[in-house]
Chain A
Amino acid sequence: MTVMDQKPAPGHRHGGPQRPPIDATPLLPETEPFRLLGTPDAAKIDPALLTELYGQLVRGRRYNRQATALTRQGRLAVYPSSTGQEACEVAAAMALRPQDWLFPSYRDTLAVIARGVDPVEALTLLRGDWHTGYDPREHHVAPLSTPLATQLPHAVGLAHAARLQGDDVVALAMVGDGGTSEGDFHEALNFAAVWNAPVVFLVQNNGFAISVPLDKQSAAPSLAHKAVGYGMPGRLVDGNDAPAVHQVLTEAVERARSGGGPTLVEAVTYRMEAHTNADDATRYREDAEVEAWREHDPITLLERELNGRGLLDDTTRQAAEEAAEKMAADLRERMNAEPLLDPMDLFAHVYAEQTPQLREQAAMLRAELDAEHDGGQTDHTEHAGAGS
């Protein structure tokens, strides 16, 4: 079958004792993170794209602020903020077409809502009323993955399956710098390259895996260089330069779509806030470092470009801010409503058909709920228990 045909690099096959010389240079990433903002090429970026990115970044920043506030009000159990990383989050969503799939990690709720998922449904996991609050099939967004890098093989399998069926679908999988140390990262990239699967791997290198800095995580020249070992191209991009991230991801998606195979993109960014609201970042990093990154904020960088080109008048700015406020107000209002919980849901989706054991346990819970509802005490002497 042609779909399984691979394009072995020179020397890829064992092929006997004589091997041709190996040239890995086409796979090497940039030596400096790719940038557009502040370079002569910035003038060529479509103004409509710049203003769309701006609107998304402003909305994304507001979303991060609102979600963090909801943790303080007890409305979210926890929130891993992507403040400072909004350019990566929104560019990932914008680079995809409707038929493509996004495979987010737990810090990527912003990318999830930028893809069209209802913000309240995207936060269900972090509110704690269920694990995944949205139907992954509706917007082609896989569940937020908490176990690191485990969603990457899923992206490979889905993209591979789509390609086998002749469907034009690309999967974009998101992971952090810490996640690149996991075995699943390695296995996913290896499978993707061997299968020539239409996958884009986006590593947001935000400097820290909770508290552990990158130099304790990896000795590679860059995380993008890891691509070479798998036989796919690596790209290194400034993760706070929204149009640059958008361009690199769009090119990678197009490459995957056209049968070119997977790409590993490392976006260099910075986690401006602690790992989550439950973390204390002062124990492992200096304020001065955070302040230095504030100068390189994705919104500031984009505003500079927009101002330079006269694209950011008061109306545009106001429209972006108003849209963000509207989203935040709606989120606040709906998150302040108590979620509807049905404890019987605990048994509803364990198997296609409940096992006899789960039917017994569901009946036990039902009886407890009924007793609670009636305000009475459970009669323990009549309790049927599991032995019925």
Chain B
Amino acid sequence: MSTATAPAPTTARKPATMAQALNRALRDAMAEDPAVHVLGEDVGALGGVFRITDGLTKEFGETRCTDTPLAEAGILGAAVGMAMYGLRPVVEMQFDAFAYPSFEQLISHVAKMRNRTRGALPLPITIRVPYGGGIGGVEHHSDSSEAYYLHTPGLHVVTPATVGDAYGLLRAAIASDDPVVFLEPKRLYWSKDDWNADEPAAVEPIGRAVVRRPGRSATLITYGPSLPVCLEAAEAAKEEGWDLEVLDLRSLVPFDDETVAAAVRRTGRAVVVHESAGFGGAGAEIAARVTERCFHHLEAPVLRVAGFDIPYPPPMLERHHLPSVDRILDAVGRLQWEAR
């Protein structure tokens, strides 16, 4: 996958997985700053169920990478206290749906502490959440929970779609003085990309979208797990004569209105693509924002390709739920081309 932000190719570039890049980001952050502490379930000897924390306990000791009791509210609540004392906790929630017990801590304290104390107690906490489907997971292992987070003022909500961004955004999240919900698309954990592991860089500031594929016909606006599907759709669209632009948001909060609006003004047509349920989802917000800003440039209503408004399906049926190349192309086909 090509990345617009990746450094220029050098001989040091070699294939790496997103999981390796995330692991490297944690290791580099911990080596650079003794205040960075990783905590969560099975993050120690096991290295996390996805191996993102592999080797950290061995390298930094169990006080820096700590297996906690199995209690998500306790993990996040303890992280709040640790951050109050000047540490920079990185919390791992084992799966999207397993993060829900921590919601009260997240919404009532993590998101609000800076505000309630007029800036006296900022909480530099990174909450890593593996999210999304497409991995054949059974019930409660495939939720796309981003809408719950992005509706909560005080949180940043970030999600990488490439190997380089996985490293760069995680470094930026850990360095941020605000709480960041860092959503890791678990079906991309094993995606590979040529990546310069010798000179990895943080992606800063958080909140900038990036054009992954330039195009003139219409803009696909997406993030995280749906980026590869959109890029595939853009390739397939060439056969239909459409030259699709693909925009990777990378950050849902802050939202990059400027880049998104500029893209849609160029193409005049937009489809938002995400896995999570469409009703009240990120796509609804994005479509509204695009319409408010680009109304006179639009040739057609902004459309959404999203998961159905159903509980996440069992693994043998999930392919019918997830946005597909065909479903994206169908939406592009409905962008009122005949009116032109």
Contacts and interface: CB of A to CB of B under 8 A. Distances in A.
B74 A351 contact: no
Nearest to A386: B292
A348 B80 contact: no
A135 B63 CA distance: 29
Contacts of A143: 113, 116-117, 121
B192 interface: no
Nearest to B111: A350
Contacts of B82: 157-158, 160-161
B86 A161 contact: yes
A136 B121 contact: yes
Interface in B240-284: 253-255, 257-258
B79 interface: yes
B154 A190 contact: no
A135 B109 contact: no
A173 to B, nearest CB: 10
A153 B113 CA distance: 14
A132 interface: yes
Nearest to A354: B254
A191 B121 CA distance: 23
Interface stretch (A71-79, A181-189, A204-212): A181-189
Given A154-B80, A351-B178, A355-B253, A137 B85 contact: no
Interface in B86-125: 86-87, 89, 101, 104-105, 108-109, 112-122
Contact of A351 (B73, B78, B108, B114): B114
A142 B119 CA distance: 13
Contact of B85 (A158, A349, A351, A355): A158
Contact of B255 (A142, A155, A357): A357
A152 interface: yes
B176 interface: yes
A323 B198 CA distance: 67
A284 B74 CA distance: 34
Given A154-B84, A357-B257, A135 B69 contact: no
Residue among A1, A150, A187 with the highest chain B CB neighbour number at 10 A: A187
B338 to A, nearest CB: 28
Nearest to B80: A154
Interface in A331-388: 345, 348-353, 355-357, 385-387
Q: Which label, helix, strand, loop or mixed, suits the secondary structure of the B interface?
A: mixed
A49 interface: no
A153 B78 contact: yes
B207 interface: yes
Contacts of A157: 77-85, 89
Interface in A154-187: 154-162, 164-165, 171, 183-184, 186-187
B81 A349 contact: no
B117 A135 contact: yes
Interface string B108-149: 110011111111111000000000000000000000000000
A187 B254 contact: no
Interface string B167-182: 0000000001110000
A164 to B, nearest CB: 5
B118 A153 contact: no
Contact of B120 (A137, A154, A164, A348): A137
10 contacts: A153-B77, A153-B78, A157-B80, A157-B89, A160-B81, A161-B81, A186-B71, A351-B178, A352-B176, A387-B292
Q: Across the A-B interface, give the 10 residue pairs with the lowest CB-CB distance, nearest first.
A: A153-B77, A157-B81, A187-B74, A157-B78, A158-B81, A131-B116, A161-B85, A355-B254, A154-B81, A387-B292
